[in-house]
Amino acid sequence: MQNLGDFKLPQFFNYPPYFTLQPVRETRDKQVQLWKEMILDYCRTQKIYVIGLEEDFPLFTNHVIERSLSHEARQAFLSALVSDGRAEWMDKSHRKCLILWHGVQDWADLILHFVKENGLEDSVMTVEEIRTGTESRGTELHGMDRTLLMRALKLLERKGKLVIFKGNFGRR
């Protein structure tokens, strides 16, 4: 079985027809399902937040069997993730896709948990500190996508759990 870095590729990845969108409904459903699972798994383990449809995303091409997903197929698989609530289009033309292996709510919970664990209630932190600071090292928040982090923070702000300052960001 092939590996991609430390990611163990599923066997269907080596079966050429899985790189062509299947015309028959049932077969296609199964195909989409397998791709969705693989994309989520891969992004979760490799900490990938954004997939660009026109970029060289490692899963979209299998050099061993010389197959690569068409633009249509890429869009189909990611759209399926979007309708599951596991991804969001970042632009109207569907060129970039934010992958949510944790939903925004889950990320928000992770932030609250992180703050409590580190006794940071009632303190001020910058967004960059959360993403790259020493406190977050070793947690899932470390190296988190900025857009996604902002989304989670805004969700918390709406719930009155923190306040975002202009220029400087704070939390309570």
Partner 1 sequence: MRRRPGIGGLQNAAAARDQFRALGDNVAKLRTDLMKEQLSTFRSQLEDFARKHKNDIRKNPAFRSQFHEMCAKVGVDPLASNKGFWAELLGIGDFYYELGVQIVDICLATRPLNGGLINLEELCKLLRQRRKTAREAVSEDDCLRAISKLKVLGSGFEVISVGKRKLVRSVPTELNKDHNEILELAQVQGFVTVEEVERRLTWSSGRAIDALDSLLDEGLAMIDDGHRDGKRRYWFPCVSSISSFVGTDTL
Site residues for partner 1 per CB under 8 A: 10-12, 14-20, 22-24, 26-27, 29-31, 34, 66-68
Minimum distance, C-beta of residue 51 to partner 1, in the bound complex (Å):
20
Nearer to partner 1, 24 or 119 (CB): 24
Minimum distance, C-beta of residue 100 to partner 1, in the bound complex (Å):
23
Nearer to partner 1, 1 or 122 (CB): 1
Nearer to partner 1, 63 or 92 (CB): 63
Q: Of 51, 50, 48, 37, which Cα lies nearest the Cα of 8?
A: 37
Q: Of 76, 64, 70, which Cα lies nearest the Cα of 9?
A: 64
The count of C-alpha atoms lying within 13 angstroms of the C-alpha of 56, restricted to the half-sphere facing its C-beta, is: 2
Minimum distance, C-beta of residue 110 to partner 1, in the bound complex (Å):
27
Measuring CA to CA, how many Å separate 149 from each of 81, 107, 127, 138?
Answer: 20, 8, 8, 16
Minimum distance, C-beta of residue 55 to partner 1, in the bound complex (Å):
19
Nearer to partner 1, 11 or 123 (CB): 11
Helix, strand, coil content of the chain in percent (nearest 5): 45, 10, 45
Nearer to partner 1, 26 or 91 (CB): 26
98 with 91: CB under 8 angstroms? no
Determine the Cα–Cα distance for residues 30 and 153; give it in Å rounded to an integer: 36
CA angle 16, 18, 22 (to 5 degrees): 120
Minimum distance, C-beta of residue 27 to partner 1, in the bound complex (Å):
5
